[in-house]
Each structure stands twice: as structure tokens, then as C-alpha cells.
Amino acid sequence: MAAIWVYLETSPKGLTKASLEALGEARRLAGEGRVTAVLIGSGVGALAETAGYHGADAVLTADDAACADFNLDVHVHLMRRALDGTGADLLLMPVSIHTRELSARLAAALDAGLAPDCVGSEAVEGTVRWKRPIYAGKAFETVVPAGNPGIVTLRPNNFEAMAADAGRRAEVQPLDTAIDADRLRLEVREAVAAAADKVPLTEAAIIVSGGRGMKDPANFALIEKLAGTLSAAVGASRAVVDAGWRPHAEQVGQTGKTVSPVLYIACGISGAIQHLAGMSSSRTIVAVNKDPEAPIFKVADYGIVGDTLEVLPLLDEEFKKLLA
Ligand SMILES: Cc1cc2nc3c(=O)[nH]c(=O)nc-3n(C[C@H](O)[C@H](O)[C@H](O)COP(=O)(O)OP(=O)(O)OC[C@H]3O[C@@H](n4cnc5c(N)ncnc54)[C@H](O)[C@@H]3O)c2cc1C
């Protein structure tokens, strides 16, 4: 494939893991073709080099204090400017709360096809076919987004990042960040940073999630303990979020976050379709539920029928031994 573009996201620690995975996938699909990355933010210029190590041939940087906080309008304008007249074949973006909106706005603006939430790809005779879950993960469809570029968002933990090669150099070019104020309809008044010590839910390789079967908010200490042992993030069902046991930021599902970790451990979660919508593309699912008929067991790779309050400490003990 001749020209693949990648929209990169950053965190205070650098390029996000999901961005590196998108770059890796772009590099793999491009073969001898060109991978161009776009970096928008404040103080992000230095990360262009890292993008080169991980597969970019060229990096356009919009590095401006005005881009410090994510403003959807700004990113739409800058991405359109970056892509204008390039005839790019594909634009890859890591799935995130921001790219959900950005990919849709760009697809509409560029009259391009959008394949969201992809978990796999296959190159067939010069065309890339993308695999994505549908019907809340009950089935998969294969799609080819039309347009120049066709736009694809990639779920974290499903694609391989390229190992850093410090010998790779990307050509770095600045992207003009000036936008007429009257073209911006959105203004960011305040951005509240998430606690920096926590593993972000959407990027976590392992998630330990709890539902109403945890019985009491205090029992989530057992989930947090296991999550700590596994360096995992904590997730929750909507039932416990609505009950005020856990913050909304931890909610997994249709009206919460979509996650696809390598390992998802669901404790005392029934497996309602709205919960499955957010986690069924996890690579390995372990369910702990005292009801052997609970729907979560239909999507689980491993099931433990038992009281989660008894099983969680045993799991923690066994994982501690394994990891010692
Ligand atoms: C429009 C809409 C959007 C929604 N969005 C979401 C969403 O984003 N995310 C989401 O999660 N839900 C969502 N829901 C709610 C969803 O339908 C379910 O109500 C919710 O997921 C149930 O949460 P739960 O599994 O924790 O609770 P329950 O359904 O009450 O299940 C509790 C489970 O725990 C088991 N259990 C009980 N005690 C124990 C024990 N001691 N040990 C082991 N197991 C035990 C029970 O057998 C049961 O299976 C949405 C609903 C609607 C209508």
C-alpha cells in the first residue's frame, strides 16, 4: 500500500501504546510504501523522533501551546490541512474517546468511509480488509472503507507495535497551526487530568472488573488488590457505577468504555449485552460468577463457578506465586 497516515496520541509519558500499535500496523501494511504520522499538541515535537523509531517515515508536527488541550474543532481543521491533496490511501487512528469523535467528523468532512473499532486486518490483492465486531461482539464483519483516505480506528491490544529501532529516522515537518478564530465553534474551558498513577482503562493489557455480585463497595478492595498484583486496571459494570460504588470512568460497556485487553477478569458480572458490547473483543475472558447459567459464561474462555469474594483472594495468592 502506497501511502498510510497515522494520527498519533500522546500522554504525559510519551506516545500512547495504542498509537505505537497503529504505527506498527501502518508499517506492516505499507511494506515499501510511506508511513506519515501526525502529532498535534503542545511540546510534542520531541516525540517525532520516537515515531520514527517505531515505523514513521515522515512526521508532521503541530506543536503549539494552543493545542495543549484536545479541541475537536482544532484537530479536525489540522488533520484536514495535513491530508489535503495527499491522496493518502488509509488513515489509521488508535481508538480513544477523542478519536471516536474525530474519526467521524473527518469521515464526514472528507466524504470518506470509516471502519471503527477494528481488531484485525488482512491485505488481499492491494486492498486491506478490516475485521470489526458487530452486534455487541456477537459477530464480526469484514469491511473496506472507501475514500482517500479510508479511515480506520484500531482497538488497543490487537495490533503489534514495532520494536524501537534507534537507527530509523523520520523526516520531520512542522504543520501550520494557525486557524481563524471564527472557524472554531468549540472552546475548551478546562481539562481535568486523570490520576497519573493509574493504568488507563482503554489501554490496559489486563482489566479486573467487578459487578453487583461484589455485594458491597468495600469489597472492591479485593478487585484492587488483584489489579495491583497484575498491574491491571479496574473496571466496573454499570450497575455498580449507577449505585455510586465506582466512578463512571471505570464503567465498561455500551454507555461506558470499550476495552479489548489481553485478559479481562469479570467478577460478579452477569454479562448483560450492554456490558458485553464494551469487552467481548478481549483476547481472553475469565468470568467468576456463582450462577452457572450467567450469560457471561457464553463469552468466557475460562469460567469459575463460585463466590467471587472467596475466589478473588485465591486468584491473588496464585498470581502472586506465579509472578514471584
Ligand atoms: C441503554 C443501556 C445502556 C447500558 N450500558 C451499560 C454499560 O455500559 N455497562 C454495563 O455494565 N451495563 C450497562 N447497562 C446495564 C446492563 O443492562 C446490566 O443491568 C448491568 O450490566 C448489570 O450489571 P451487573 O452484571 O453488575 O449486575 P447484575 O445483572 O445484577 O449481575 C450480578 C451478577 O453477579 C452474580 N453474583 C451475585 N453474587 C455473587 C457472588 N457472591 N459471587 C459471584 N457472583 C455473584 C449474579 O449471579 C449475577 O450474574 C445498560 C443498560 C441499558 C438499558
Q: What is the pLDDT along the chain (324 residues), one digit of tens a residue?
A: 689 999 999 998 899 999 999 999 999 999 999 999 999 999 998 999 999 999 999 999 999 998 999 999 999 999 999 999 999 999 999 999 899 999 999 999 999 999 999 999 999 988 999 999 988 778 899 999 999 999 999 999 999 999 999 999 999 999 999 988 888 888 888 888 766 667 789 889 999 999 999 999 999 999 999 999 999 999 999 999 999 999 999 999 999 999 999 999 999 999 999 999 999 989 999 999 999 999 999 999 999 999 999 999 999 999 999 998
Owning domain of residue 100: 3-183
- Domain check: are 109 and 23 in the same one? yes
Q: Output the pLDDT for position 197.
A: 63
**Residue 198 domain-assigned (yes or no):** no
**Residue 196 domain-assigned (yes or no):** no
**Residue 311 domain-assigned (yes or no):** yes
- Domain check: are 22 and 170 in the same one? yes
**Residue 263 domain-assigned (yes or no):** yes
Q: Output the pLDDT for position 199.
A: 75
CATH number of 82's domain: 3.40.50.620
Q: Output the pLDDT for position 182.
A: 85
Q: Output the pLDDT for position 304.
A: 98
Please indicate whether residue 295, judged by its CB atom, sits closer than 6 Å to ligand 1.
no
For a substitution probing ligand 1, which of 257, 274, 286 has the most ligand atoms within 8 Å of its CB? 274
- Domain check: are 172 and 211 in the same one? no
Please indicate whether residue 153, judged by its CB atom, sits closer than 6 Å to ligand 1.
no
Please indicate whether residue 294, judged by its CB atom, sits closer than 6 Å to ligand 1.
yes
- Domain check: are 18 and 139 in the same one? yes
Q: How many domains does the chain have?
A: 2
Where is the domain boundary, 183, 214, 248? 183
- Domain check: are 179 and 211 in the same one? no
**Residue 266 domain-assigned (yes or no):** yes
Single pTM value for the model: 0.84
Please indicate whether residue 219, judged by its CB atom, sits closer than 6 Å to ligand 1.
no
**Residue 169 domain-assigned (yes or no):** yes
Q: Output the pLDDT for position 190.
A: 87
Distance 301 CA to ligand 1 centre (A): 19
- Domain check: are 131 and 231 in the same one? no
- Domain check: are 54 and 87 in the same one? yes
Name the closest-CA residue to atom 14, ligand 1.
274
- Domain check: are 278 and 239 in the same one? yes
- Domain check: are 105 and 34 in the same one? yes
Which amino acid appears at position 205 of this protein? A
Output the CA angle 63-20-30, nearest 5 degrees. Answer: 100
Where is the domain boundary, 168, 183, 198? 183
Distance 241 CA to ligand 1 centre (A): 10
CATH number of 276's domain: 3.40.50.1220
- Domain check: are 164 and 60 in the same one? yes
Please indicate whether residue 258, judged by its CB atom, sits closer than 6 Å to ligand 1.
no
- Domain check: are 16 and 147 in the same one? yes
Please indicate whether residue 256, judged by its CB atom, sits closer than 6 Å to ligand 1.
yes
Distance 128 CA to ligand 1 centre (A): 37
Name the closest-CA residue to atom 23, ligand 1.
239
**Residue 254 domain-assigned (yes or no):** yes
- Domain check: are 41 and 76 in the same one? yes
Q: Output the pLDDT for position 231.
A: 93
**Residue 126 domain-assigned (yes or no):** yes
